[in-house]
Amino acid sequence: MYAYTAAKEQADYKTGQREIAYWRKHPNLHGWMERLAESKNVEYSTFNGVELELTWADLDELERAITHNQLPPTQGFFFGNESDDFYKKQDLEFVKKARAELFMGLKVFYNSSW
């Protein structure tokens, strides 16, 4: 699981990506992102390898979910155990970094590969 930035004006975002966060087995964050993708009507068969753009509003909601311990319980073969407490500080740092990237005019994306 990772988050990255890319310039808004690039035709091919993949050439200018820069990773800003990485998580290993953070199932509840992945579940939160999947619910976000569903709310945005992102089409996918399995929520894996799906590029999900995050906005200011998304980051506000994510920060609320993290600080209020409201990431949704998510289970799956590759996910491992809940790790919200382990990643809480890193999650909040990601939100801070992502906001700075948006402020600088970049786009922020979440993606996963398992």
* Model pTM score: 0.89
pLDDT digits (tens, 9 = 90+) for 86-114: 999 999 999 999 999 999 999 999 999 97
- Residue 29, C-beta contacts closer than 8 angstroms, at least 6 positions apart: 1, 23, 71, 84, 87, 91
45 DSSP assignment: S
Predicted confidence (pLDDT) per residue in 30-88, tens digit: 999 999 999 999 999 999 999 999 999 999 999 999 999 999 998 876 677 788 899 99
pLDDT confidence bin for 9, thresholds 50/70/90: low
Note the pLDDT of residue 34.
96
